[in-house]
């Protein structure tokens, strides 16, 4: 018997193999179907998908045998991967110098026939083999060889799909971990900054009241600038806290309310100017849902429609329809609109529509990202249509609850 040699690219091969994370994995129907087909097409009692590790052959799928693998130094497949582009066929192993003393050949239930094709990764490195065995001398015809190679290609596709899925899962896990760290960091920093900021704003007010008589106009402007900067940073921090607090809204807290009643309360909070016309839906729908979450969505969208509007008369239209599964809402305005190039990323965190809003303030790009998180946590989706200088329409849906929990 001649034990198979170690390929020159063994280290690279093993690194690629371990990235598959397939060794000792559970059986899968997709692989088992292929070994059954290989046995049938090649007219052999045994077919195996074999993964070759550093010291062992492990059977990902085996048809016609209860074996789970073997030692690599007595394997047929170890020889196959030495010429990974060639189908290795051994018509009678007892007459082949490489295998005649092999324990599988000399056993009470001997293997005398073997044919195998290498299973290559995207770099051409062999991960293992698809092979067939028989206790009797055997030989494949050309059609059977072609079919065995074709089935091997199907196994390669399964393996590479697994590899890509592993990469995606690892990226998702890393992203989730990074997001968790960012949420904790943002929450900690934001909370730690809120009190010093509140003190700074309060101190600015005290300075203005107590020393305004002894300050010139430039000094008072500095005080006002200090306070305004503090308020801007406070809004930014509150926005971050809202964004991460609502990353997964508590959709379990549902209650019954009328849409227009909620909208009127929001309009009162926003202190709408006389030059603004907000038209509510004609049908005051009864909604069963999370009032706080839905209210925050409308608060953010209405606030944006007011801030990013340069018309002398601001007009905002709100509508709502319902079907069996969802409530569907629209909010449209006659504001500045969103340039086409910014629309695809408008819901990304820290993405802003314009340099400054109606009052000359720069936005932080947190509100719409928060809105998207809340909408999706409520089982819905959100999108927009907009034309620059003509206005924007946001459409969003939320999953419908037919009764209170």
Beta strands in 193-289 (DSSP E): 255-258, 276-279, 286-289
Pairwise CA distance, residues 152 & 139, whole Å: 18
Pairwise CA distance, residues 42 & 139, whole Å: 9
- DSSP annotation of 212 reads G
Tens digit of pLDDT for each residue in 18-54? 999 999 999 999 999 999 999 999 999 999 999 999 9
More confident residue, 163 or 187: 163
Entry field: residues in the chain: 405
Q: What is the mean pLDDT of the chain?
A: 85
- pTM, entire model: 0.52
Pairwise CA distance, residues 240 & 243, whole Å: 5
Tens digit of pLDDT for each residue in 52-107? 999 999 999 999 999 999 999 899 999 999 999 999 999 999 998 898 889 989 88
pLDDT score recorded for residue 241: 62
Tens digit of pLDDT for each residue in 349-361? 666 666 565 565 6
The answer to whether 42 touches 132, Cβ cutoff 8 Å, is yes
Tens digit of pLDDT for each residue in 285-303? 999 888 878 888 898 899 8
CATH homologous superfamily for 10-167?
GAF domain (3.30.450.40)
Tens digit of pLDDT for each residue in 132-185? 999 999 999 999 999 999 999 999 999 999 999 988 888 888 877 776 766 676
255-272 mean pLDDT: 84
Pairwise CA distance, residues 97 & 41, whole Å: 28
The answer to whether 301 touches 318, Cβ cutoff 8 Å, is no
Pairwise CA distance, residues 91 & 89, whole Å: 6
**Percentage of the chain with pLDDT > 90?**
45
Give me the CATH topology for the region 246-399: Heat Shock Protein 90 (3.30.565)
Residue 366 CB: number of other CB atoms within 10 A? 23
pLDDT at 252 over 50: no
pLDDT at 272 over 80: no
pLDDT score recorded for residue 180: 74
- Choice among 71-80, 320-329, 369-378 with the minimum mean pLDDT: 369-378
Pairwise CA distance, residues 73 & 399, whole Å: 60
Match 């608060």 to its residue by tokens: 299
Could you tell me the CA-to-CA distances from 26 to 63, 170, 199, 382 in Å, in that order? Answer: 15, 20, 60, 40
The answer to whether 115 touches 90, Cβ cutoff 8 Å, is yes
pLDDT score recorded for residue 141: 96
pLDDT at 330 over 90: yes
């Amino acid at each position: 018997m001649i034990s198979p040699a170690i390929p020159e690219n063994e280290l690279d091969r093993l690194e690629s193999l371990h990235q598959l994370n397939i060794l000792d994995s559970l059986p899968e129907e997709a692989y088992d179907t292929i070994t059954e087909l290989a046995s049938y097409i090649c007219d052999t009692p045994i077919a195996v998908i074999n993964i070759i590790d550093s010291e062992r052959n492990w059977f990902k799928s085996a048809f016609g045998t209860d074996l789970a693998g073997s030692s690599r130094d007595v394997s047929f497949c170890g020889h196959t991967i030495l010429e990974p582009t060639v189908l290795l066929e051994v018509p009678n192993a007892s007459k082949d110098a490489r295998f005649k003393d092999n324990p599988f050949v000399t056993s009470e239930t001997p293997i005398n026939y073997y044919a195998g094709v290498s299973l290559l990764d995207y770099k051409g490195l062999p991960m293992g083999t698809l092979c067939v065995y028989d206790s009797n001398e055997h030989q494949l015809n050309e059609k059977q060889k072609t079919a065995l190679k074709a089935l091997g290609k199907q196994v390669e596709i399964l393996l590479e799909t697994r590899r890509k899925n592993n990469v995606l899962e690892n990226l998702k896990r890393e992203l989730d971990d990074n997001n968790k760290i960012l949420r904790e960091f943002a929450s900690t920093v934001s909370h730690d900054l809120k009190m010093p900021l509140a003190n700074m704003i309060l101190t600015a007010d005290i300075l203005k009241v107590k020393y305004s008589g002894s300050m010139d106009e430039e000094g008072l402007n500095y005080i006002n600038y200090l306070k305004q900067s503090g308020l801007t940073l406070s809004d930014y921090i509150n926005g971050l806290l809202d964004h991460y607090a609502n990353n997964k809204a508590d959709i379990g807290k549902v209650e019954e309310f009328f849409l227009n009643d909620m909208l009127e309360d929001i309009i009162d909070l926003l202190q709408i100017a006389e030059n603004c016309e907000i038209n509510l839906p004609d049908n005051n729908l009864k909604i069963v849902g999370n009032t706080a979450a839905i209210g925050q969505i409308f608060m953010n969208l209405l606030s944006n429609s007011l801030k990013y509007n340069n018309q002398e008369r601001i007009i905002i239209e709100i509508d709502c329809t319902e079907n069996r599964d969802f409530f569907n809402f629209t909010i449209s305005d006659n504001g500045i609109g969103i340039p086409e190039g910014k629309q695809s990323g408008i819901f990304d965190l820290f993405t802003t529509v314009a340099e400054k809003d109606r009052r000359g303030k720069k936005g932080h790009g947190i509100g719409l990202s928060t809105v998207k998180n809340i909408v999706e946590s409520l089982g819905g989706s959100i999108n927009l249509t907009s034309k620059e200088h003509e206005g924007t329409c946001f459409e969003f849906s939320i999953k419908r609850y037919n009764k209170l929990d």
